[in-house]
Amino acid sequence: MSGKTVLIVDDEPAIREMITVALEMADYICIEAADAREAHALIVDRQPDIILLDWMLPGTSGIELARRLKKEETTAEIPIIMLTAKVEEDNKIRGLEVGADDYITKPFSPRELIARLKAVLRRATPPGIDVPIEVDGLTLDPSSHRVTVNDSALNIGPTEYRLLQFFMTHQERVYTRSQLLDQVWGGNVYVEERTVDVHIRRLRKALGERHDYLIQTVRGAGYRFSDRPA
């Protein structure tokens, strides 16, 4: 299972739909945007793992959006695959110039798309994703799928693990219950928002009094992971 979130940016609904269907079959989570603004809003809100970006867009062009994304610190790391309608060497060059990680010319087969996607994700997946994250004695090691507090392993369920991993890779930022459901549970499930509270609780309990301060409640907003006291 991949569970990676893919943002598809194309002004043509039919194309978005086609890609979505293909990718969801391959177990990706898809979100769609029709133009650059919509795309930007979704990027901020959902933080996709990769972006499929059409070359031609109404308003701000795909190229322009790519350039901007690569400039902003919070989005620069997200890999981008450009979609171009024609085989124009120019596009390729300019696309890669502004920071796109790969490009595909339409029409393309789902097979090809997924292959490229995997390749880019593998390549872009920084050596950092497998590196253990450590905060104040709390360590999460993705490669061994293990969580320890001062070297003593702690026993948490899969959901708590994903939740903690998400938090530790997204520190210092508040996430609403809804966003957490999207990011940790995966967009298409329907669960009560209060369920998040329960898993937060379980996680805190597992962390123990010495470390539960790391998961902070922001009343009226959501939760935040930070080693800096509230």
Partner DNA sequence: CGGGACTGTCACACAGCTGTAACACTTAGG
Partner DNA sequence: CCTAAGTGTTACAGCTGTGTGACAGTCCCG
Q: For 52, what's the count of Cα atoms within 13 Å in the CB-facing half-sphere?
A: 32
By a kind-dependent CB cut-off of 5 to 8 A, residue 76 interacts, out of DNA, its own copies, none, with none
Binding part of the chain for DNA, among 13-21, 66-74, 118-126, 190-198 by CB under 7 A, reads: 190-198
Binding part of the chain for DNA, among 3-11, 44-52, 93-101, 198-206 by CB under 7 A, reads: 198-206
Contact 105, 87 (CB under 8 A): yes
Among 172, 188, 189, 209, binds its own copies (CB under 8 A): 172
CA distances from 161 to 14, 18, 200, 206 (A): 37, 33, 11, 11
Contact 149, 222 (CB under 8 A): no
Contact 149, 211 (CB under 8 A): yes
Cβ 163 to DNA shortest distance, Å: 9
Among 114, 135, 174, 206, binds its own copies (CB under 8 A): 174
Comparison of 48 and 222: residue with beta carbon closer to its own copies = 222
Query: CA-CA distance, 163 to 185, in Å (whole number)?
Result: 9
Q: For 61, what's the count of Cα atoms within 13 Å in the CB-facing half-sphere?
A: 12
Site of interaction with its own copies (CB under 8 A)? 34-35, 37-38, 40-41, 44, 59, 68, 74, 119, 122-123, 125, 127, 130, 143-145, 153, 155, 157-158, 161, 172-174, 218-222, 224, 226, 229-230
Site of interaction with DNA (CB under 7 A)? 155-160, 185, 189-192, 194-195, 197-202, 204-205, 217-222
